[in-house]
Amino acid sequence: GDSVTQMEGPVTLSEEAFLTINCTYTATGYPSLFWYVQYPGEGLQLLLKATKADDKGSNKGFEATYRKETTSFHLEKGSVQVSDSAVYFCALIPLSGTYKYIFGTGTRLKVLA
């Protein structure tokens, strides 16, 4: 069945470091791909999305490119801030006609000043 695999955390970085959180997926066809973020004490917020191959989603300095060759959607940011500390979830919606998200396990990011 469809699935999402994320790198295990926690990831600890210093402020202004480069961030990569890996995400790969298994799905039939070309699903829509998403990154959601959960800040401490809050709910999930959509960070960015991509709906077709080679699309690049971007928001708040974060980027992810839909790579069908490698079935990946890695999240990157050039310079992280303390305020980026959160749990990041990669997710997909399959093409099966249902609209349920399939999530990865989440990656906790901690940014130190």
Partner 1 sequence: EAGVTQFPSHSVIEKGQTVTLRCDPISGHDNLYWYRRVMGKEIKFLLHFVKESKQDESGMPNNRFLAERTGGTYSTLKVQPAELEDSGVYFCASSQEANQPQHFGDGTRLSIL
- Binding residues for partner 1 (CB under 8 A): 4, 34, 36, 41-46, 49, 89, 91, 98-106
Nearest approach in angstroms of CB 46 to partner 1 is 5
Question: Closest CB to partner 1 among 65 and 103?
Answer: 103
Question: Is 52 or 100 the residue whose CB approaches partner 1 more closely?
Answer: 100
Buried b (16+ CB within 10 A) or exposed e, 2-33: bebebbeeebebeeeeebebbbbbebeebbbb
Q: Whole-number minimum distance, CB 59 to partner 1, in Å?
A: 12
Q: Which residues, 6+ apart, have CB-to-CB distance to 109 below 8 Å?
A: 9, 10, 11, 12, 13, 19, 21, 80, 84, 85, 86, 87, 88
Q: State the minimum distance, in angstroms, from the CB of residue 106 to partner 1.
A: 7
> Can you tell me whether residue 83 is helix, strand or coil?
helix
User: Measured from the CB atom, is 68 or 100 closer to partner 1?
Assistant: 100
Closest approach, Cβ 26 to partner 1, in A, equals 13
